[in-house]
Each structure stands twice: as structure tokens, then as C-alpha cells.
Structure 1
Amino acid sequence: MNRLIASRGLLQIFFALLLVIVIMFVSNYVVYKNSISGIYEKVAQNNRLVVKNIIQSYNNSFTTVNNLIFTIHGLPYDNLFASADGSIDMAKVYSLQDNITTLASSVDYIEDIIIFFDNHDLAITSKGTSDMSVLFDKKFKHDIYNTGYWKTFARSKHPSTVFPADTFVSQGETMTKKSRRLIPILDGNKVRMSDKNILVMINVDKLLNHVDMKAMLPGASLIVLDPARRIILSTEQDWDLVEVLNDVYFNASSEASLTHNNFEYNFYKSDYNSFVYIDKVPYQFKNIDSVTNASRTIMIMAIICAVILSAVLSIYLYRPVKGILKLLGGGSIKGNDFRKIHSGIVKVQAENESLKKQMNFVDLEIRRGVFLQTLDSHNHSQEYEIQMQKYYPYFFRDRQFVMAAIHLKGLHADKEQTDLSIEEMTEAIRAGLQVEAGHVVVFHSSQLQFLAMIGIGHSSERAAVIGRLEAFVQRAEKEELKGFMLWACISKVYDSHMRNCRAAYQEIMNGMQYRNVNPAGAVLDTTSIRFVADMHFPFEKIEKLSNCMLSGKTNEGVRIITDLIKENADRGIHHHQLVHAARSILSHMMKQIEVSPALAKELYRLEADFLQKVENAYGYKDIQDALLEAVQYVASKRSQDQKSKLNPAFISQYIELHYMENLYLDHMAEVLDTSPKYFSNYFKKTFGVNYVEYLNKVRLSHAREQLKHTDLSIAEIGEKTGYMNSSTFTTTFKKYYGISPSEYRKNPGD
């Protein structure tokens, strides 16, 4: 009892506030019953009837299009192409075109009807005939729905498909461009009724007029979703359906409705084609006289209650205010108490916001650590696994997932490049993929590589995910990540378990190693990789490259590298194979540089930079550029460091490159900056034979190859291998091999 008496002031404040709440509730209830409730219920009921009629009109429209497609399939104009020479029976074509013109004119919202065939470029429309490429480039131009897309989609097994409304551009004869919003409808081919592929283009504006959208409540809008929850048509731009769809459960036999952000959403499911129609209606009305009068009454009553309440609160809140101020650290300071309380609250809020950001950062890093730990090939303790399980729902919200590695490569310095931190890049990739592919988890793994886990409901959605990933890569290079080149590698479908993350990651890593050095697109599908063992690495060309570096023939070395890389690219070898070849080529070139202590660190940096470039290369051109840079570097070092030419490697390589010239002793001595006698003694001591005999063996070795593989005359071969006349060549050849050149050509195996 004493405690209750001591709290008497608090009870009085409570009952005073309760009284104000009761009065305001009664006032609002009266206003609601007398104005808004009645008006809204009648209007909403009428709008529901209108919407149901509109939905029925949509169903009738789609039924009409479906019947029209069946009618066209039933027209007796199959086999338009003669089987013998593939020519077109134009009489049948024109007759078919007249029929579809008549059918299209009977439905005012049909923009055009297009008939095409799987293995022919002819397109027959209600306006005439055309080549498909011209038709979809001039009249129905779209970034995605081009000729290749329609042909590919038509050849795949699919039901009758209604595509989302989108903008198509047509170009007239005066070079003026016209945009139209169209809904493409392509007939199904799971059960082929004829050899025709029928594509119906629905004009959105005419369709809206046909179904009489103006009859809806002003301010209301309608969206049409197909059974896969894709937006087919919307009368309002920028609908945010994520929260709305998450709050409603679709039942096949009932309607649903909910209110969200001052709007009421009514959901209807079509019995004809399982399309979902969402009617968005405002449930708050303005400029109603009864509401104005009631609001004025509420304001007057609120003012009176506020005055009474202020008098009561001023008596009982003084001591609590002092207590609050003391808790905030300002109880002993005189002045405006409420301003000090406000300042203290603002300070606490700022501290809380800072702490919230720190906690979010820590939580994100923990999630990233958990994800990267799952990719580790080593097992962790059971306690660690239990502690980390609370983060698993963050990664998986769908039954299955695919993992993708997204790589960024900075372009040249003269290109405009987005200045982003790693965290900003991660968020840009996550947000971009979220728009394209739904639930996505993205983490930075190393350098400019990011790993993304994309949730999917069924394995059949993987192809669509690949297409959306390609769309994101193309868009991000122009917008979010401008200045970077992006490419991605995507795994097969896995069930949503953490233990599968390691397998998916390993698959991606293997895919990056075994990818084709001449990639066809920006997204690599690991399931499409096929093993290739036919790597081109001729050792004689690599030896010739070393000779070119030694003798200063840089252009010849560049040509050898370019040809070798191009040959491997044409063969479609794997990335790791070309990297191995590039490393070997670099090692052969580095042998031509005399390594001094001062040069060792520079060569180390060169090699490390080269290895990083080839490992992170996207295609063969990047590896080729890295090799060509190394060629120029080796050439510059060879010119700066004039190594002594009197060494076996240089002499043998010089003879190999110049054997067809007059390599007298005097000439060799001049090249090597020594005397003929010294060179002759040095050569015999080093090579074990005299110089003339060694030169003849080199020349005759090349002569044998030409005798085997060319149709040149004996005299021409002798001249090309360094002999002054055919008799000298024949005599020398017979001396070393025991038979004449002509006899050797007849029996090269002897």
C-alpha cells in the first residue's frame, strides 16, 4: 500500500494518458464509421469486380492468341522448301502470308505474327516476308531477343511461352527510330503440330485499351506474373514486390490480400493459365469533407487534452527529468534540462550507431571466415562446427545452389576506372547479382577474385542463372565496375549443405585451370570443359628462339612466340598448359642473360611479375603480351651486356643461323674479335673436330632434310646450304654419306 501511495504521481500520469488515448480512439472510430470506412468499402468492392472483369479479359485475350496459333498450325502450308535444292515455294509463302494477315487483322492488339522455321532464315509476317536477321535488327530490335535467341529457344523443347513485356525498337526508312512495348508469345513444341515456329507480338498499349484498364480505381495499378513469378506486364514502374510476395502465401483455390506501405494488394490466380494478377489499390483517401471536419474536431479535443496533460506532467516529471539528466552525465549543470537531455540522447544514439557499424563489420567478417573455412580441405573440431552452425542459414535459403568465381582485371591506366575498395566491390557484385539472380552471398577470396553462392530452387534453373550472370558481367563493366574487365566461372548444381561448398570451390578452381585459352564468352561453364592433350610445343622452335635472343634477332623471336601461342589457341588447349609452356619459354630466354649480383633482384621481380600475369590471364592474348614484354626485356639486357662471343653456345648458334653463308675462318674470326689461328685451335679443342668438318655436317644435315621434303634441284639445295656449286656439294655429300644426293633422294632411308 505504501509503495502504491509513493507511486501515486506515476499512476495519475498513466490514467491521464489513458484517458487521452481513449478519447482519440473513440473520435477516430466515429470518423472511420461515418466517412472512410463506408466510402472505401464500397469503392474497394466495386474495384474488385472491375479487376475480375479485367482478368477475364486478359484470359480471353490469351485464349484468342492461343486459338490463333492453333489455327495457323492447321493451315495447309507445310513443306515450303523443296527437298532437292532447298528452294522456297513462293506461291505457298504468299498464300500463307495472306492467311496470317487476315488472322492478325481480326485481333486489334496483335502487333505482328511471325512464322519462321528451324533450319531457314525466312520469316513470314502479317506485313510480308523478310530475312530473320533483318526483321529482328530493323523492326523488332532488342538486346536479348535477337535472331539467335529466337532460333535457339525455338529448337529447345519448351511449352507455349509468354515473355515479359519489354521495349522493342524499329527503324523506319527515314532512319527514325520508334520504340514499342511488346509481349512476345512463342508457341510450344513439345508436341509439334507442324514445322512452323509461331511468334506473336502483342502491343501492350493496345492490349491495355482492349481490357479497359481505365475502369479501375484511379491510382490503382495491376501487375501480371506467370507461374514462375516473372513479371509479364505491369502498369506501374518500379514495383517493389520482394516484401509483398514474402508476406503472402499463394493458395491454388483462393484469393489473398494484404496491406503494405499505404496500399492494399489483392492477389488473384487465373484458372486458365495459372497467371497471378496483383491489384494495387490505395486505402487512404484525401480531400474528403467528412474527414476534414472530423479531423478538426480531433485537433480541438487533442489541444484541450494536451493542455490538461501538460499541467499534470509538469508537476510529476520534474524529478524524473533530473534523474534522467544525471544518468546522461549533466545532473549538476544548470540550464535547459530538456535540451541537455536531447544532447545526451543524440550522443548515445551516435555511440550506438558506431557500435552497430562495428558489430555489423565483425559479423560480416565472421561470416566470411566461416565461408572460407568451409573451403579448407582440413577438418575442424566438432565444437568449432557447432559454433559455426548458427551462421549456416545466412548462406542457404534455397534447396540448391551454384558457386561462381568472379574475377576482375584492371584495364590500362589511360582508361577511366572506378575507384572502389574491396568492400565496395563486394557489395556492388552482391547487389548486382541480387537483382539478376535472387538470393546471393558474395565474399572476397583473394586479390580481385570474389566467390558467390547463388541459391536456386531446382537444377533446371541453372541455365537461366548462367544467362543472368552473363547479363550482370556485361552491365557491371559499363556501370558498377566501370574500368574493369570481368569474367566468371560457374559450378554445377549442389544441394544446400556446407559440406558441398568445398566440392563446388574445387570444381571452380579446376575449371579455371582447365579453361580454354581462347574463351568464347565471359562466363565459363565448368560442365562444358573437355580435356585437351594436343599441346603444341616444338623444341626446335624454342631452341631457335634462344638463338634469336642470342644473336639479337628480336623480331624473329616475336614471330616465333606469336605463332606458337596462336597455334595453341587454335587447338583449344587448357589454361594451365599454356601457362606451363609460357614458363618454359621464359626459362629458355632467361638463359641468354648473364646474371650478376646487381641484376639478380631485377630478374627475380621480372619473373615474379610474369608468373602473376600468366596465372591471372583471362585468355591467350594476355599470356602472349607477357611473353612479348619478356622478349623485349631480354633483348635490352643482351644489348646492354655484351657478353663474350667466344663461347660454345654462341658459336654453335651462329653457325646454325648462318650456315648458308660463306663462313670462312677469317669471317668467323672477325665476328668473334679474334685471329683465325686462335679460333681454329679453340674450336677443335672445344668441339673435338675441326671447324670445316663441323660446318659441313651442319650444312649436310639441312641438305638431307631438303632432299627428303622438297622438290628443289640438287644445285638449288647445294646453293641454299652454302656450297658454291653443285659439284662441290655432290662431292662433299658423297664423302660423308657414301652416296650421291640424287641417290639419297631416291632412297632416303639408306
Structure 2
Amino acid sequence: MKRFFTNLGIVQIFCSLLLVIGIMYVSNYFVFKNSISGIYEKVAQNNTLAVRTMIQSFDNSFRSVNNIIHTIHGLPYSSLESEEDGRIDMGKVYTMQDSIASLASSADFIEDVIVFYDDMDLAITSIGTSSLSQLFEKKYKHDLYSESYWRSYIRGKNSFKLMPGQYFKVATNSSWQRKKLMVAVGGNKIRISNKNIIILIDEAALLKHVNQKQMMPGASLIVLDQDRSVVLSTDADTDLSGVLDEVYFNSSQEASLKKEDYQYNFYKSDFNDFIYINKVPYQFQNIDSVVEANEMIMMSAIICAVLLSVLLSIYLNRPVKKIIRQLGGTSRGNDFRKILSGVVKMQMEIDTTKEQLKQAESEARRSVFLQAVDEHAYSGDQDLLLQGDYSEMICSKYFVLTMLHLNQKSKDQTPSMAVERITEVLDAALRRVSGDIQVFYDKNLHFVALMGLEPSADRAALLKQMGRLCASLEQEELQGYSVWASVSKPYKTELRNYKLAYRSAMDGLLYRAVKDSSNVQDAEKIQFGWSLYFPFDKIEKLSNYMSNGRLQEAKEIISETLGENANRNVHHHQLAHIAKTMFLYMLRHARMSAGADDELYKLEQQFLQRIDYAHDYLEIENALIEAAKYIAKHSKSEDTNRLNPSFISQYIELHYMENLYLDHIAEVVETSPKYFSSYFKKTFGVNYVEYLNKVRLSHARELLKDSSLTIGEIGEKTGYLNSSTFTTTFKKYYGISPSEYRKQNLNE
């Protein structure tokens, strides 16, 4: 036994195997623990992003409901009675019903819109008309929300109210259906009209609209109104007792609270002061049992591995000695040749690994460089690490950063060369200009080259060499690509200067003059200018031409606008912004006629890509004209009859803050100002200017009451050119100044 334990070979093998097993156990344990926490952290981060998206969707949905209410208030017919005999004018009823149906169809989560008057039992809905009492007895039946309840509620002064979802018995063609509906009731503290409006919202459709399934399993979302009452919850248990009392936040902050097994994240809406609470599990359920089970498995494995190490130590003692002798060349035989072949194979694998490490090092240098030129700051330790990595990149005392941009000449052709191959070609070509160089791939066929520069070097000669090099690459190694470059100012080789050089070279690409045909831009010679030409009246005409399919007139405006900017020699990025703005103006009239949103999405993406990669203004003009052809083609069949009360009132509600002159809105509905003025007076009962002022002032009163904006800011937000005009108009209609109105509401 003593001889057995003193056998050095067995002890060495056993200890080696035991050490390997111990290291594997420790590493596996930490990997396991970190993986569990890491997975939860990642899931929690994704859940936060999903909740923010849902909140934005909720805000947009409630904004749509609010806009519908304001639009209905703005519809004509303050009374449905005929002026001749006092009876209900069914023509007015049918016109209003059509308008309500059109507005209700704009949101798929709206179950129905109900409009009724104080002195009438008639209720107008999006699907027809009915008696108000019959509507809530035979169509939408609920124990509390009856006709008498709504009559009593409307008689009081209430702000806009969103009531929690309740189960209604909804009548269908053949039976009753149980459906959970939320009720939105328009406020009547400030009566915009004598219409009473109730909007029924399908809670299930609303949750589907905001894509509730994005949240992580076990999480829920609770919505509180401005009075901190729960109006919607995806959790059956919405007990918030003690939660709201323990958190404080204002409109510019978010807050979170950990309580028991849950974390509550609070968000405040910028639109209607609603509070959104995201309730998420503080950790995965049953995580402790999972950890204990895995620890038991690892402990069992370590015990078995120790026993196996003992057996292997005894079994491998003699063979290992023979292998050592064979590796030392003391014996010959089949065993030695097998080991030798294994060593040769290992050497080949080492060579392969070296090549992989070389590629990994190149990619790591690229990653470090991109971090160095990032506009956001890194920690001091990271800067020291970057400084160490950059110390071997450029040996020269000074350098310039050259940004090369490639673009395929044929858009239909598939990429003919891989990025790695293009990088090799550029590296080899640039070394003919400077021997001290590093080439990195940035993105979207943008390549960055750090070029060493001696103090005595002629920079002008370098620019000429770069020009010849770009032309040579287009003719030889990089056929099928257009190549142009931007050369930064010279900088001293220091870490902080790489970011400056990158920005300088990027400015050379962005601020190049559109008529400059040179393939090399010198960042030192940028001449900044802002002499842009953007005729708003013609751009508005361009939009109208698209709606009528008048392509030739649209092409003339496009060519004239871009041509004038080219004559002024504006910067490339400025012309690109002008082209994108013109495209968006044209695109307004394509959505209703194109049919498929994915086609418009592809059109927009292709257009933006062509604009970003365009080398001169002619490419931008061709891209804009091709987009105009597509939009005009899909706009020819569009119904352009916009001269109806619903469209006019909704357009004014959405654009009241702009300069809505009579000529402008007449052009929008495609009629003459004189005819539009007569039609508006006949349809709405008031002239256009008086109606516009009422809409603006109704929104102004809400801002005076519910916001902290100044009088001048409120005037600007509601469409008045200055505070004096706003104050005069407000006093004309309400008899008091805006400041006095605000004081009265504050005192209330």
C-alpha cells in the first residue's frame, strides 16, 4: 500500500484530473448562476421596451378618441329640428350618422359612437339611429349604465372621463353576446356644442391593438386615469393598496418600486396625465428549486468524477510512462507513430487557430476603432484600454483619416464582392500611397483608412494621388462600383484626435457641393452655406398634383426645385433633405390608393437608400421622379371629392394651429375660395373665420385651464400669430381676457 501511494505517476495523474474537475465545477457553477440572472435581466429589458411601445400605442389610441370627440363637436347641426315646423330633420340626422360612421371606422377598437341631445330621446350611432332608452335596453344592456344613468351624468359638469371596462350584454342578429366594454364620455365643463357623446371601446380589441402579447410572461399593465382610478388592467389582481403611497414622481420622471415578489414600474403619459404601472415578477418563479437541483446534479457529477479519476490514475499510470518515453524518442513502435501523427495533427490545428486569431485580432481592432470614434463617452478604464490598442495602429507622428464610399452602379445587380475582399483590395491600393495604414469597414460600404503622414509630406499631392487611385479602382479592381473619398484635416496621432478626424471626413461627404464632380473631397476646403430654395406654395401644389395624378406638372416642380438648388450649389445633405421632404409631401396621397402598406414601405426604403447613396443631384432628381410616377399611378383612382362636412371639420381640427387661410383650405378641398366660403356658410351656419376661431379658442381654453404655458405660447400653439391677436380675439368671443379666464378657473 505504501509503495502504491509513493508511486509518483499515479499521484500526478490523480491530482491533475482532480484539478481539472475542480476548475470545471467552479466555472460551470458561475456560468450557471450568471446565465440565470443574465437571462432574467435581458427579458426584463425587453419587457421595458415592449411596455414603452404599448404606452405609446395607448396614448395614440386615447388621442384618436379625443380627436373623434372634438371632430363630432365641430360637426354642423347644433339642433336636429327643422327651422320650418320644429320636427326632426331626417336629412340632418342621416348626414350626421354618415359622418359618425366614418369617424368610428378610423379606429378598429371602437365598438360604437353614440351622440344624443339634451332635449331629445333620439340617439345617433355609427350603425344607425335609435331611441336612447331602447339603445341601452335592447342593444347595450348593463345593470348600471342605463339611459337614466347617462341622462343624470350628463346633467352634471364633468371632464373627459374614461370608465373601466364592464361586461355588457350586446345584442347581435340572433342572440346576446357578453362583451367587456370601456366607456369614454366627452367632457361638458366647457360646452363646445350641445351634443352629448359616448364612445364604447372594445377592451379586448384595444389590448390587441396595443399588442399586449409583447410583455414577458407573468407581467401585467395597469392604467390609471388622471384621478388615479384604475380604468384598465391585464391582471386579475389589481390591488394597489400601499403601492401608490410609497412612490413619488413628476411628469418628467419615471419611478419604480419593489414590493414583495414584484417590481412596479411607473410611467406618466405626456398626453393625458394617465399613469401606467408595469407589474413584473422580481425574479423567475421557482428559481431556488432550479438552483438546488442543478447543485445536486453537479455534486453527484463531482463525486463520480473523483471515483473515475482514481480508477483512471491506476489504469493510465503505465501507458502514460510509455507515451512520455516515446515522445522523448527513447523507443519505437506503433504507439510512437500514433502519438507522432497526433502531434502533427495538433500542429495543423494550431496553425488554423493562429489564422483565426489573426482574423479575430483584425476584427477586434475594428471594434476598438469604432468605439474610439463614437460620440458618446466611455469610462476612464476603457479609454486606457483603447489607448493601448491604438498604440500599434499608426506609427507616424501625424495622420489623416480617409473615408471611402462605394456604391453599386447597377441597382439590380447582386453584390459581386464580399466586404472582406473589398477591404483587402483597398488596403493593397492605399499602401501604394502610404505605407503606414490601417483600413476598417464601417457600414453600408463605407470604409475608413488611417493613413500615416510625415510632417514634411505634401498634402495636396496626397489628394491628387487619392483622386487617381479612386479612378483606377473603378476601372480595374472594383469594376461595377463608383468610388469617392473624403480626406480629413491632418491631426497628431493621439487617441482624442481619431474622433475629430472621423467627424471631419464625414463632414467632407455631407457638405460636398452637389455640382462638385470630383471623386475626392478635401475637408479643409469646405465652404458652408445655407442658400436653400424650398418654395412652400409649389411643394403644396406638388402634393395636390399627386392626388390628381398630374405627373407632368409634378415633374416640372421637381426639376425646377432641384435645379435651382443645384445652381445655388447647396450641400449634398441639404439637397437630400429637400428631396426627402418633397417625397413625404407626395406620399400623403398614396396611402389611400396604393392598397398595400408593404408596397409603400418598400418604395420609401428604396427611395431613402438611393438618396443617401446618390453622388450628384441628377441621381437625386431621377429617384424623386421615379417615386412620383409610382405615387401618381396609384393616386389616379383616388376619390378626390373632399367637399363634405366630415372631412372639412376633421381637417380643421387637425390643422387649426396652422395658418389656415381661406385660399389654402379651398385649395385642399379643390374648389375656389368664393364657392367654398358660400358652401361653408350654408353647411355650418357660420362663416369660415368664425368657425375657425371657435375651434382654436376651445383648445385655447383647455390649455389655459390645464397647462402652465404662457398666454403667448398658448396663442402660438392655437394658430395665432402673436399674443395681441390672440388676446383681442379671445376677449371678443368671451368678454374677458385669457389671463382673467385662467384666474377664474384657478379660483374654481
Both proteins in one fold, TM over 0.5: no
TM-score by length of 1: 0.42
Q: Which has the larger radius of gyration?
A: 1
